[in-house]
Structure 1
Amino acid sequence: MTDPVTLYVCTTCRDAADSGDGPRAGARLHEALTAALAARPGAPVRIEPVECLSVCKRSCTVAVASPGRWTYVYGDLDPGTSADLILDGIGLYAGTPDGLVPWRERPQEFRKGVVARIPPAPVTP
């Protein structure tokens, strides 16, 4: 069994097309990801909305983390078209013991949109 993966989605991200009265791009991405995940029963992913990932110049932004694995932050994602692509990439991540997916195997949007790669937190006795 694969360890569960947490996908953090910045719900406060804005894009140039956002109007002042509708949901922000990040909230739309969260909604699209939740719907796409519902169509993948048994996927080892938990989606968590967060208010800010502090990557405002690279919206929409998500982070993927799991115990013992590297954490990745990805930006420049399209809220209308990226949900399935993100879940496909997260599936590759979930299939690794350390979170390191070879660069050539990552979806193109993950290759172009990587903001940060953070080492696993140290295990303390």
Structure 2
Amino acid sequence: MLDPDTATLSVCITCRAAGDTSEPRAGARLLAALRAEAEREPVPGLTIEGAECLSVCKRPCTVAVVSPNRWTYVYGDFDALEDPEASARTLLTGLRRYLETPDGVVPWRERPEAFRKGVVARIPPLNRTS
């Protein structure tokens, strides 16, 4: 059985901003920044992993967060070219709030601005009743 106090953040490592040909790709840089920031300020229950492609190529950099009994969210438009560290801090701040909720729905005003503007999809939990 999955622990309801856990979440997995998948980071698209193939994400690349338009015209960016640098290596590692922006998504891989974001993943590295997230792991480094999580080392400095851990988020209990959060696993961070790379994903080959989240198919949101027009909104790089893209991440998805999934957790048992919570809504799944896909977010895009994180800046991993100019400031991947700031994007990592923003993501981890939002994910701390996400894990504090029973259903993953953080009140609108309590979400980081990047979460309000960058949401690509919101997917209901598998066990949702109603």
Superposition TM-score, scaled by structure 2 size: 0.88
1:44 Cα deviation from its structure 2 partner: 2.0
* Runs of 4+ with deviation above 3 angstroms: none
Aligned equivalents of 2:20, 2:72: Cα separation in 1 = 28
Asked if 1 retains the 8 angstrom alpha-carbon contact of 2:43 and 2:92, the reply is: no
Residues 27 and 60, structure 2, Cα contact 8 Å, conserved in 1: yes
Q: Which of 11, 14, 20 lines up with 1:18 in the alignment?
A: 20
Distance 2:34 2:43 in 1: 15
Show CA shifts across 1:64-107 (max 9, x none): 11000000000000122200110000000000000000111100
Residues 17 and 40 of structure 1: CA distance in aligned 2, closer, same or farther (over 3 Å): farther
The structure 2 residue matched to 1:96, chosen from 85, 98, 101, is 101
2:121 pairs with 1:116: yes
Residues 46-125 of structure 1: matches in 2 within 5 Å? 46-79=47-80, 80=84, 81-122=86-127
- Percent identical residues: 61
What secondary structure sits across from 1:82 in the alignment?
helix
What letter corresponds to residue 17 of structure 2 in structure 1?
D
Count the aligned residue pairs: 122
Q: TM-score, normalised by structure 1?
A: 0.91
Q: Residue 7 of structure 1 contacts residue 63 of structure 1 at CA under 8 Å; is this kept in 2? A: yes
The residue type equivalent to 1:6 in the other structure is T
Backbone CA RMSD of aligned residues? 1.7
Are the aligned partners of 1:29 and 1:83 in contact in 2 as well (CA < 8 Å)? yes
Structure 2 residue identity aligned to 1:45: L
Q: CA deviation at 1:17?
A: 5.5
The answer to whether the Cα contact below 8 Å between 1:37 and 1:43 also exists between their aligned partners in 2 is no
Q: CA deviation at 1:42?
A: 5.6
Q: Which residue of the partner structure matches residue 31 of structure 1?
A: 32
